[in-house]
Amino acid sequence: GGKWAITPGWEAGTSVEDLQWSPSEATVFASADCNKNISIFDVRKTGSPMLAHKAHESDVNVISWNRNVTNLLASGSDDGVFSVWDLRMFGKDPLARFTTHTTPITSLEWHPTDESMIVVSDESAVFVYDLSVEEDAEEIAKTNALAEDENAIPAQLLFLHAGSVSNKECHWHPQIPSLVMTTALTGFNVFIPSNL
C-alpha cells in the first residue's frame, strides 16, 4: 500500500473564507479571512504568509485574482465594500475601492479575457464593472460634489442585474464573452448584459 505524507501547513487563527491560486506563480496562493485580512502565501514557506494586510473593516468574504494582469487581486467584504489591490504595492491603499453596495459581497470574478472587467454580487443584485472607465472633468466635479454620498453610482458600473433573492455566486462563461451565470436562493440566472 501507499503512504501519506502530511506537510505542516498554516494556522490562520480565524475562519478562512476564500482561497485563490496565483495565475502566474505555481506555488503562490492568496487567502481571505474573518480577521479582515488578505494574505499571500508560498507553499515552499510554511508557517506564515509572505505578505499580509488588513484589507477591509469587516470580514473578507471573497477574493479573485486577475488572470490577465496577475498583480491585481479583488476582494469583497461583509460591509459591502469591494476593493482592487496592486500586489506590487500591497499594504498601501487599494487601487480602487467601491462602497456602493449595501449588503455583503458574496462573490466576484475577473472577466476571463478582458483585464478591466469584473462581475460582483452582493445579497441583493449582480453588478458588472469596467475599471478602465475614467471620469472626465465634468464628471469628476459631480463626483466631488457627491463625495459625501458613499452610495453614489460609480462611472465604472456598466450593468446591474436584480430580481434574485440572496445572491451567492457569479461567474463569467470561459468561452462566451460577456455571458454571466449567477446562483441565488431563488435559483440561477444565465444572461448577457445588453450593453456589453
* Strand runs labelled E in 15-166: 16-21, 28-33, 37-42, 51-54, 60-65, 72-77, 82-86, 96-98, 105-110, 117-122, 125-130, 157-162
Question: pTM here?
Answer: 0.87
- Mean pLDDT (whole number) for 99-105: 95
| pLDDT higher than threshold 90 for residue 166 | yes
Burial label for 73, CB within 10 Å (0-12, 13-18, 19+), is buried
Mean of per-residue pLDDT scores for the chain: 90
Residue 116 pLDDT grade (very low, low, confident, very high; cuts 50, 70, 90):
very high
Burial label for 93, CB within 10 Å (0-12, 13-18, 19+), is exposed
Q: For the segment 120-150, what is each residue's pLDDT rounded down to a tens digit?
A: 999 999 999 999 998 766 655 665 555 556 5
Q: For the segment 71-80, what is each residue's pLDDT rounded down to a tens digit?
A: 999 999 999 9
**CA gap 183, 65 in Å, rounded:** 21
Q: Say how many residues make up the chain.
A: 196
- DSSP assigned state of 96: E
Positive or negative, the CA dihedral 128, 61, 173, 88 is positive
Which carries the bigger pLDDT value, residue 196 or residue 53? 53
Is residue 119 within 8 Å of residue 172, measured between CB atoms?
A: yes
Q: Which residue in the block uniquely carries the three cell numbers 505524507?
A: 5
Note the pLDDT of residue 148. 56
142's enclosing H/E stretch is helix 137-145
